[in-house]
Amino acid sequence: MLIREIFVSPGRAMKATSVFDTYWRFAAKRQDLFMRRVKGEPAPWTDDPVLAAHRFTNVYRAADRVSQYLIANVIYRGSQVAEEVFFRTLLFKFFNRIETWEELAARVGDPSWRTFHSERYARALDAMLARGERVYSAAYIMPSPQFGCARKHRNHLRLLEHMMRDGAPRRVARARSLGDVFGILRAYRSIGDFLALQFAVDLNYSDLTDFSEMEFVVAGPGARDGIRKCFADTGGLCESDVIRVVTERAEEEFRSLGLSFQTLWGRPLQLIDCQNLFCEVGKYARVVHPEFSGISGRTRIKQSFKPRSTFLPQWYPPKWRLEIPGAFNGNSPHVSSARFGTLGQSDLARST
């Protein structure tokens, strides 16, 4: 059902459905749930039955469990030389699973390009699989690069080695925009648009690059599904432009709907956050707006929400200089990144 038109230029308008208003209500409620948990308030953290029963990523991508672990325990722990930061970040992200990283660290020592030996790393992952454990996260599909190995994880180790020897870290460090970083990563086999964007944003959390998250975005499959439900007509705009228009309208939309939105300690929503929100509202709408069909064809939300802890220390890139109250602060914006502490899996693996 068309509820209103959003004019993006003279004579051009996007036609929003009722799901678009839900997009902003979902964002406000999901962020409120997150902040209540950070403050240590007791459950329940929301009166929304769908949010209470199902798992959704945080509104801010950097606040999610895996991103928090990546920032605290991977990017800023160890040498800050470009090759080492790139190596650790991509090694972690290829598998995107905290348990896999910690298993590697336990078996080969702190992962490092300087001491990397593909076969040693591969054997550590072989052992996980032999025990019936997963190596890859189920968060998104990781296509196998073709490097001649029978097992996907061995091919990914070969891919990472190839990227390192091909000079990818130095080219990323010399990049002039987030889009350039995306392009460098996108050129490697099996890394499509979605993964290239995710990896570019992850690398941009480090000091290897320092680009605005408002520079560049690409819509992933989940975001395209959410956009389809939010708009009956995008006025001829491509998905990336839709995300930009929506992000730039955030304050106006929250205000017009009478919603109170808590930013990430002063950091407004960025393109990558609103891209993710389209994905999450696409899932949320399966229950709240079943009359709207997207492109996925899915009608249920698979993952349930089972919180096990309210302890959520916060870790963000020091260059963001977020003024986080000390009780919740995992890192001070005034502390050198080389002095980052480390949180164990028991602390970070339970956040959501």
pLDDT of 341 = 36
Question: What does DSSP assign to residue 291?
Answer: T
pLDDT of 279 = 96
Q: Which among 166, 180, 188 is positioned nearest to 208, based on CA atoms?
A: 180
Q: Bridge partners of 314?
A: 329
For 282-316, letters b (16+ CB in 10 Å) and e give bbbbbebbeebebebeeeebeeebeeeebebbbbb
What's this model's pTM, rounded to 2 decimal places?
0.91
Q: Which among 206, 208, 200 is positioned nearest to 178, based on CA atoms?
A: 200
pLDDT of 338 = 32
| Residue with tokens 């032999």, as numbered in its chain | 130
Q: Write out the H or E segment, with its range, that includes residue 107.
A: helix 98-108
Q: From the first residue on, what is the mean pLDDT of each consecutive set of 10 residues in the chain (352 residues)?
A: 85 95 98 94 92 95 97 97 98 98 97 97 98 94 94 98 98 98 97 97 98 98 96 96 98 98 98 98 96 82 73 92 76 36 37 38
pLDDT of 334 = 30
pLDDT of 126 = 98
pLDDT of 318 = 96
Strands 12-17 and 2-9, bridge-based pairing? antiparallel
At residue 18, φ and ψ (nearest 5 deg) are -65, -20
CB 273 within 8 Å of CB 45: no
At residue 325, φ and ψ (nearest 5 deg) are -55, 140
pLDDT of 351 = 37
Around Cβ 84, how many Cβ atoms within 10 Å?
A: 18
